[in-house]
Amino acid sequence: MGNDFRNPSWTSGFFVDFLCVFSIFFIYAGSNVPAINEPHYWTKAAHFWNSDFGRGDLFLESGDAHWLFFATFGYLTRCMPLPWAVWTGRFVTWMFLAAGWTILGRSLWKFRNSFEAVEATESLDQSSGSLFYAPLVASCWAVVWLAGLHYGHWAGEWVVGGCESKGIAYAMIFAGLAMAIRRRWTLAWTFLGGSAAFHVVTGIWVIACVGTISIALDWWTPKIGFWKWVAMHRLGWVLCIVGVLMGVVPAMAIDWGTDPVLASESAVKQVYTRLGHHLAPSRFNSVRWQNFELQLGCAAILLLLTIRSIWRDGRSMPRGVRFAVGAGLFGFAVALMGLLIDYGIGTFSKPIASKVLRFYLFRWNDVAMPMMIGALAVSFAFGHLRYRPYPVLARWIVCCSALLPGIVLLGYRFEANWKEAIPAGDKANFVAKTDSDSVQQKQFQDWLLVCNWIKENSEHGSLWLTPRRQQSFKWHTGRPELACWKDAPQNAEDVVEWSKRLADAYPFDKAKNLVPWTTEKLWELQAKYGIRYVLLDRRVTGQNLPLLPILYPSPTEFNESFAVFELTPPKANVSR
């Protein structure tokens, strides 16, 4: 890590760095199927290609805001069982993420043997022997970034995890950022437009970020100027707009013509009820605030050290590091705007605040802030921000300090994933944290047994009233349910209807405990919504068996956690 450093060829190669990054992502995210969001995404993907899967379910038949993901990755559900389809999608997503991240990491730090940054006017594509990479630089950066994203996120954002649309979007974002750093603007804007096609909100914030950074770094450069800057971007802009429209049009179409009052009510329910932990800082818990404040302090210290080095040495950052810093500052600025909207406008008009906050103003900050921290920390560790790098011992201390949290995190995740008995997508909202592992596993086995019975012994399209404390009923059975807390629709009309169904079917008492179902309550719900079957959760305190025909368990079967009852089939179709 100094001027006399020579890179061993195997550590500086792209393929080795890529394999290391992929391994890091696999260790971090390689949990059992389904992950926390996979029942939500993949049941909708299965319904997209097979309308009999969950036919009649409010969520599955609501608008498809992420239609490109369902149209592409969702096709896997026609070729293989749902768990296999998800594992295949995971591997593809992690490979794309690792490839995009590796290209981006090797774009941030591409140096001459003298460790001088490649100037902005020089090509980053030249292959002369005077240019080389730091060893496993993308892998080191990934370890630091994952630790910051995992421990320091403010709004619950994640990138590397189960297979869903935003994983593909972020893979394209990483590749787009790399091409922007290299000034391959047509490719850059194409990738960024593709990210918006897969996940429009994620992609648009990064498009705005890259455009702002490009103006700051290139527009005012004497050797480029305004018209040359426009000429560099114009074809890419066209391709980017095509991608954005592929994401925006379906998202807008699902709410086209919706009553403005209904749309406003839907936004409030999304921002301040269902997704408050992502969208409204007034709903973020105190631990997130503390962790983010710590991360923000680390970012401030590194920025001050960087400014001091630049001031003393009269040297600018490498272009790629400037991009990382610009992304971090842009993300934080947008998050501050969201903070002001929530605590300002939101205090006297939640409907107005919700219309802005529902666009995930904190998402890019959660990703870009640790990217910036990692970029600066690795730069200091390799001595890339000074003509005369810091002493080797000091840089080793910085390197170990930056990598240690990520290494500890990967060790913890490996152990947790290896020992995981109940997948996160099944466990969420399903078992009480105060229960022992043996009790949780027994209840989970009961859950699998009853779901398997339902899948084999009930008809498609039969509407079910399911337990409030679960989110994987459709995943295991392929049958529709009245409402599920996790499965909030994307379009406004169905969000309001979903909220009403939850309030009707799962009332709480003053102590916020679920009110047990009674026979009269079940007949009331049947008359209102056309429910055919009831999946009863016997674990609800005070729950008694209703006076209805019991289908499961039979006298020869045993299931102490769940029971299935039948209601009289509805005489007429019940509208939403």
DSSP-derived letter for residue 3 is T
Report the C-alpha gap between 71 and 49 in whole angstroms.
8
DSSP-derived letter for residue 481 is B
Give the number of residues written for the chain: 576
For residue 576, the model assigns a pLDDT of 40
Residue type (1 letter), 116: E
Which helix (H) or strand (E) segment holds residue 10: the answer is helix 9-12
Measuring CA to CA, how many Å separate 402 from each of 378, 395, 399? 8, 10, 5
- Strands 562-566 and 131-133, by their bridges, are unpaired
**Residue 500 neighbours by CB distance under 10 Å:** 13
299-323 pLDDT per residue, tens? 999 898 888 776 665 556 788 889 9
Residue 203 near residue 65, CB atoms below 8 Å: no
Report the C-alpha gap between 363 and 148 in whole angstroms.
14
Report the C-alpha gap between 411 and 381 in whole angstroms.
23
- Strands 464-465 and 131-133, by their bridges, are unpaired
Angle at 472 between CA 474 and CA 156, to 5 degrees: 125
H/E/C letters for each residue in 198-263?
HCHHHHHHHHHHHHHHHHHHHHCCCCCHHHHHHHHHHHHHHHHHHHHHHHHHHHHHCCCCCCHHHH
For residue 294, the model assigns a pLDDT of 95
Lookup: tokens for 576: 């939403």
* pLDDT over threshold 80, residue 368: yes
**Locus of tokens 């550590």:** 11
329-343 b/e with 16+ CB inside 10 Å = b?
bbbbebbeebbebbe
Count of helix runs (H) and strand runs (E) in the chain: 23, 6
* pLDDT over threshold 60, residue 1: no
Task: Give 491-510 as a DSSP string.
Answer: SHHHHHHHHHHHHHHS-B-T
Which helix (H) or strand (E) segment holds residue 18: the answer is helix 14-29
Residues 6 or more apart whose CB falls under 8 angstroms from that of 174 comprise 97, 100, 101, 103, 104
- For residues 370-382, give the mean pLDDT: 87
For residue 131, the model assigns a pLDDT of 42
* pLDDT over threshold 90, residue 97: yes
**Locus of tokens 């749309």:** 263
**Residue 326 neighbours by CB distance under 10 Å:** 19
- For residues 216-226, give the mean pLDDT: 79
Name the residue among 367, 476, 498, 562 with its Cα closest to residue 38.
Answer: 476
Residue 472 near residue 86, CB atoms below 8 Å: no
206-218 pLDDT per residue, tens? 999 999 999 998 8
Considering only 46-60, 104-118, 267-281, which range has the smallest mean pLDDT?
Answer: 104-118
State the pLDDT confidence band at 367, using cuts at 50, 70 and 90: very high
Residue 199 near residue 66, CB atoms below 8 Å: yes
Name the residue among 523, 514, 505 with its Cα closest to residue 466.
Answer: 505
**CA 270 to chain CA centroid, nearest Å:** 17
489-537 pLDDT per residue, tens? 989 999 999 999 999 999 998 888 899 999 999 999 999 999 999 999 9
Q: What is the mean pLDDT of the chain?
A: 88
* pLDDT over threshold 90, residue 191: yes
Lookup: tokens for 508: 């709480």
DSSP-derived letter for residue 117 is B
State the pLDDT confidence band at 108, using cuts at 50, 70 and 90: confident
Report the C-alpha gap between 264 and 269 in whole angstroms.
9
Please give the model's pTM, rounded to 2 decimal places.
0.91
Report the C-alpha gap between 389 and 398 in whole angstroms.
13
State the pLDDT confidence band at 401, using cuts at 50, 70 and 90: confident
Report the C-alpha gap between 323 and 409 in whole angstroms.
27
414-468 pLDDT per residue, tens? 999 999 999 999 998 888 778 888 999 999 999 999 999 999 999 999 999 999 9
- For residues 352-371, give the mean pLDDT: 96
